[in-house]
């Protein structure tokens, strides 16, 4: 690893709410299981995001290996739990990102970025200094340290957080931290304070978003009440104008079978209950997936092209 000025940020790591305080430059490593060497699984033009992000030319997406949440049901479990990916130097990351931008993508989309934030902030600084003007997206689990959000906002134009759990006990089962609802809500408040709601909100994707917040929620099987409470909390805090994406593409992954948890597919009736509340609460800008998502966008990160749906 080439020494760079920002590497010191990893020497007593407190980049996520786990506050492991480990020295990632030498190991042993913390909850994210990542060293101070930046590790990515994929860098590509992605067409599977919401239309205001993917647009017509794709979202320039960088998937980082590891995760501070590590929910056992993660649809990206190959990179969040199995460490699929490869180490990349800051120089290589900059070069490959420039190539991605030159392909015409509408934005840069940093997926699971918090535990590699020093690398990302350094990259963003270099890109802006070079005159890059496309929006930067912080695409995260919602499991953030609220006090870090203003720092993220110095470089990020768009926040794309999940709000996974309103139920602390479900959070404890799935990702071993019952604080998730409190931390996620506090972080999203700060994101909205910094950037407002996602604008423009063009459902056709002809005019891509430049700034703001869109909150995602994945509906889990036999956990409808958790989803309903997520919607109630968000509506109570932000009102009906908060942009939402309520996702139906849940699929059981190998860890679900090992743990005998969330082993069923999501039913249409469960998803319909959640969508009905979206309508009853009057959310004005909400994406739903009545056809249960596109299975061509369920990833396989063992392949060079992890999303079959990106082949255009």
| Residue in 170, 183, 174 with CA at minimum distance from that of residue 223 | 170
CATH number of 5-216+286-292: 3.20.20
pLDDT mean by block of 10 residues, the chain; 312 residues? 70 96 92 96 95 97 97 95 95 98 98 97 98 98 98 98 98 98 98 98 96 98 98 98 97 96 96 98 95 74 77 54
Question: In angstroms, what CA-CA distances link 108 with 60, 78, 115, 269?
Answer: 5, 22, 17, 36
Question: In angstroms, what CA-CA distances link 158 with 74, 135, 236, 248, 299?
Answer: 23, 7, 22, 23, 23
pTM score, two decimals? 0.95
Domain boundaries, the chain: 5-216+286-292
Residue 300 is predicted with a pLDDT of 81
Residue 3 is predicted with a pLDDT of 46
CA 7 to chain centroid, in Å, comes to 23
């Amino acid at each position: 690893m080439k020494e760079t000025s920002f590497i010191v940020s990893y020497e007593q790591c407190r980049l996520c709410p786990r506050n492991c305080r480990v020295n990632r430059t030498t190991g042993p490593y913390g909850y994210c299981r990542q060293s101070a060497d930046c590790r990515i699984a994929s860098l590509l033009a992605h067409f599977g995001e919401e239309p205001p992000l993917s647009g017509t030319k794709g979202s320039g997406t960088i998937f980082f290996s590891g995760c501070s949440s590590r929910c056992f049901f993660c649809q990206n479990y190959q990179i969040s739990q199995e460490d699929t990916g490869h180490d990349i130097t800051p120089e290589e990351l900059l070069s490959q990102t420039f190539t991605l931008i030159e392909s015409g993508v509408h934005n840069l989309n940093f997926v699971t970025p918090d535990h590699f934030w020093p690398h990302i902030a350094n990259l963003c600084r270099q890109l802006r200094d070079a005159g890059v003007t496309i929006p930067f997206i912080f695409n995260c689990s919602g499991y953030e340290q609220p006090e870090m959000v203003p720092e993220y906002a110095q470089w990020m134009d768009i926040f794309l957080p999940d709000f996974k759990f309103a139920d602390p006990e479900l959070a404890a089962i799935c990702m071993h931290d019952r604080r998730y609802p409190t931390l996620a809500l506090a972080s999203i408040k700060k994101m909205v304070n910094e950037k407002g709601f996602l604008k423009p909100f063009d459902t056709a994707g002809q005019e891509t978003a430049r700034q703001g917040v869109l909150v995602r929620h994945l509906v889990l099987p036999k956990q409808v009440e958790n989803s309903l409470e997520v919607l109630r909390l968000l509506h109570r805090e932000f009102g009906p104008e908060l942009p939402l994406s309520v996702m139906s593409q849940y699929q059981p992954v190998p860890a679900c079978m090992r743990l005998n948890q969330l082993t069923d597919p999501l039913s249409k009736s469960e998803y319909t209950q959640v969508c009905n509340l979206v309508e009853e609460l009057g959310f004005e800008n909400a994406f739903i997936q009545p056809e249960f998502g596109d299975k061509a966008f369920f990833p396989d990160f063992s392949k060079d092209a992890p999303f079959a749906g990106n082949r255009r």
